[in-house]
Amino acid sequence: MADVRPLSGALAEVTLDDRQSVVVKHADAPGAVRAEAAGLRWLAAAGTVRVPAVHGHDERWLVIDRVPTGRPSADAALRFGRALAALHATGAPAFGAAPPGGPEDAYIGLAPMYNIPGTDWPHWYAEHRVLPYLRLAVGDGTLRPSEAAVLERVCERMPELAGPAEPPARLHGDLWSGNVLWGANGHAWLIDPAAHGGHRETDLAMLQLFGCPHLDKVLTGYHETAPLADGWQARIGIHQLFPLLVHTVLFGRGYARQALDLAEQTLRA
């Protein structure tokens, strides 16, 4: 008989009769499990970053490998940066492209995220990654219309702020530090993706927004493999607007203030 050990939230670790450990995850939102499974398989298909194997899923349950966790190290971070750059370089058919077999109506965390393809990153990012969450935040009263106007001005200026044009990258899409597991084998593993085609600086900006152990080494490894375009540091803020507005919708006013501060700094630069 399998042994079940509850983890956090809707997760449980299950040790099967053959002693293999898997994680079983439950989701209530329709399409969330299918999107996550498709995202994990798409990232794994690149053969670059390490992700847990998907053993099966239905509309509510997902079964994946259990990752034995260790401690972050500078060497592991350097390897992770190189692998992340290689992942991004495998590309995507379009900005906003969903993973093969993944739904258009996906999720980032508990927030809906729509995978609508586009060819022009600045306009696509404004229309499909910033403005939807801005409208939700105004609708629920978390942001005032006068504050939303500041963020709308950033969206209007996105073509001039976005830097050199780049091809669509294969993104994890929700790359905060909690979705990076430092494995016992000295490698970083990625979990809980909101995978889609996007701009590679978005993944890196999210790592910096919420902190990542040995981030300097991650960036060093990344630049060794695929240097970012000049001025990337100045563009971090525009890429962080997306996750900050998602968090505004999910968790409230504190994140709205951060998004507004970034928008105001961007407009002053």
Residues annotated as catalytic (active site), given as ranges: 174
Q: What are phi and psi of 49, to 5 degrees?
A: -80, 160
Whether the CB-CB separation of 73 and 214 falls below 8 Å is answered with: yes
CA-CA distance, 180 to 267, in Å (whole number)? 32
- The Cα-based distances of 191 to 10, 37, 51, 147, 259 in angstroms read 15, 10, 6, 34, 25
CA-CA distance, 83 to 108, in Å (whole number)? 22
What the block records as the tokens of 53 is 């194997």
CA-CA distance, 144 to 148, in Å (whole number)? 6
Whether the CB-CB separation of 52 and 65 falls below 8 Å is answered with: yes
Q: How many CB atoms lie within 10 A of CB 183?
A: 16
